[in-house]
Structure 1
């Protein structure tokens, strides 16, 4: 990804879809939930059509709309990423929330029932004027309803707090914490080295987590790839900052970053799996194409069997069969 009109939305959206479990600690932080990572995340359509007063519809693209399923409980969530303060954001949040609610509205016995999502804002930059919570108040004939929209301010989180709270989803945006000092870093080598030391610490922590089995290699590489894309856009006019951080996080974007490696493995797996035939796999409880995908990802990213299966989202009940099949190959 080069320079785009919505680089930070794109990074947040990509990381959400590719490494969806990373969002759960962020939801815990914003809404006081206690998700532990075993929950199921189901994504909702991110294109909404808002009815205008002239009768026409206007398409809106949300950053994220999804459900978290924990046992018998399902909760809807919606959040937007903001890089600048915007007086119209609260209005747009209500538009999004109302359309999300209407999309699953039910009419029973002449009663329309709609359920609004739990909504939040992630501010990458903020001033003192941005509150910790915003409020939507809906006045109807004879009554009134209101709901809070919590605001997560990325610049308030130090890197140690991010790791302590497992807010790894925020790591690509961490460079915003230093944005106000870019000019200092460009002029003062000692200050620049302090910034780069902090990014070495980030990479060391991610590597340590991968080695300890707390994070798979695909997720780690995705965080680094997304981090480089944020830095490339935010520090485009600060060469020393941009080049220094990119070098520490992996230098140039790899020919096959995490997602490309994954997609390449899938494509080759489908082709090779068809060539090998699926009869043997069906008999043993595994699929030849998936087996090849696992082997390709293990080789390309130096993963063990379990890490490759996690990255490919192989169902838990199938992993032992694939493990046996790979050991026998």
Structure 2
């Protein structure tokens, strides 16, 4: 798998780890609420080789969700054609994860395999709905499925309706076959850009509702841009049309964050100055209190407090952050 996709997947999981919960619920049929603790473990594992030096393998994810019953999960992200080697590699990872936390009591080794799944960014005719492990032992045969999530089969409605925001950076894969047409047909490119405008607007809405934070939104937008730049590198119009759109949204997000930080700092300084001067309540505090009540217009609050309309509007915007 290309490094950029692997890096994007690991970044969004490690930096915005709560976003994995809806994906786990979707893949494994769990009912996690999103309030559970998620604890990540080292991704580097050294596989023991009798005929060669130990070989380091790096998993995409290795974590435990602490619900009513703690459960360990291992999820890999793939964009390549299924070739059988992926299944072998998955089992090697799973076995090493199990051994790393294995317990030996009175010469009895107990190992617990993680719940494993694969996210396929591209879907081919040969891509199955699940992989299978069949482990034949002298004491009997154990077999179980490894579910596969096919990212390209999820529409925007699926993604936002089910809270699968972690898939947004990879949504562009569902349009990959259309790149030649988008690149040469301005109308088709406009339609693609409209989809990404919708994504940005819906992310803004989720931020305003407090469903995601500014950092989560920024990370999703940034990684989406990185993936688009990589996957569409042969299609200049697609790169500029959609890629520049995400870059612009990222700049706007950063500017708004800086503005909000400045407003917050100004409020803190105003309150501190008011206290130092023995003033019972500063203009800013009064304006915030009146805004919270919601009974006066911005203009009326500006007149009552002596602040400018622009200053009150900035404080009103801060109330919704």
Q: TM-score range by the shorter chain?
A: 0.7 to 0.9
Aligned partners of 1:43, 1:177: CA distance in 2, in Å?
A: 29
Distance between the aligned counterparts of 1:75 and 1:145, measured in 2? Answer: 19
Pick from 210, 229, 235: which aligns with 1:213? 210
1:225 alignment partner in structure 2: 222
Residue 201 of structure 2 is matched in structure 1 by 204
Per the TM alignment, residue 65 of structure 1 is displaced from its structure 2 partner at its CA by 0.4
Corresponding residue to 1:122 among 119, 124, 139: 119
| DSSP 3-state at the match of 2:77 | strand
For the pair 1:6 / 2:7, whether they are aligned, the reply is no
Quick one: which of 69, 76, 98 aligns to 1:80?
76
**Equivalent residue for 1:37?**
34
Structure 2 distance, partners of 1:100, 1:80, is 13
For residues 292-318 of structure 1, give each alpha carbon's deviation from its aligned partner in whole angstroms, at most 9, with x where no partner exists.
Answer: xxxxxxxxxx996997xxxxxxxxxxx
After superposition, the CA RMSD in angstroms is 2.5
5 Å matches for 1:120-159?
A: 120-159=117-156
Q: How many Å separate the matches in 1 of 2:153 and 2:25?
A: 17
- The partner residue of 2:181 within 172, 180, 184 is 184
Q: Could you tell me the TM-score, scaled by structure 2's length? A: 0.77
Larger mean Cα displacement after TM superposition, 94-103 or 234-243? 234-243
Matched, 1:165 2:162: yes
Give 1:20 shift: 0.3
Q: How far did residue 55 of structure 1 move?
A: 4.4
Aligned length, in residue pairs: 263
**Are 1:66 and 1:78, in contact at CA under 8 Å, matched by a contact in 2?**
yes
- Check whether the contact 2:65–2:72 (CA below 8 A) recurs between aligned residues: yes
Gaps of 5+ in 2: 262-315
**Alpha carbons 1:246, 1:252 under 8 Å: kept:** no
TM-score normalised by L of structure 1: 0.75
Is the Cα contact below 8 Å between 1:217 and 1:303 reproduced in 2? no
1:227-254 CA-partner distances (Å, limit 9, x unpaired): 0000010011111111111232233865
1:109 to partner: Cα distance: 2.0
Instruction: Supply the distance in 2 between the matched residues of 1:86 and 1:192 (Cα, whole angstroms).
Output: 31
Partners of 2:136 and 2:81 in 1: CA distance: 26
Whole-Å Cα distance in 1 between the matches of residues 132 and 2 of structure 2?
A: 29
User: Structure 1: how far apart are the matches of 2:33 and 2:249?
Assistant: 34
Q: Which residue of structure 1 aligns with residue 25 of structure 2?
A: 28
Whole-Å Cα distance in 1 between the matches of residues 176 and 152 of structure 2?
10
Q: Once the 2 structures are TM-superposed, how far is the Cα of residue 27 of structure 1 from its aligned partner?
A: 0.5
4+ long deviations beyond 3 Å = 252-258, 302-307
Q: SS where residue 233 of structure 2 aligns? A: coil
Q: Give the direction of change, closer, same or farther, for the CA distance of 1:37–1:109 in structure 2 (3 Å limit).
A: same
> Once the 2 structures are TM-superposed, how far is the Cα of residue 108 of structure 1 from its aligned partner?
1.1
User: How far apart, in 1, do the equivalents of 2:129 and 2:251 lie?
Assistant: 38
In the alignment, the residues of structure 2 paired with residue 207 and residue 252 of structure 1 have an alpha-carbon distance, to the nearest angstrom, of 10
Equivalent runs, 1:280-299 vs 2, <5 Å:
none
Give the greater-gyration-radius structure (CA).
2
Distance 1:128 1:86, change over 3 A: closer
Query: Are the aligned partners of 1:105 and 1:114 in contact in 2 as well (CA < 8 Å)?
Result: yes
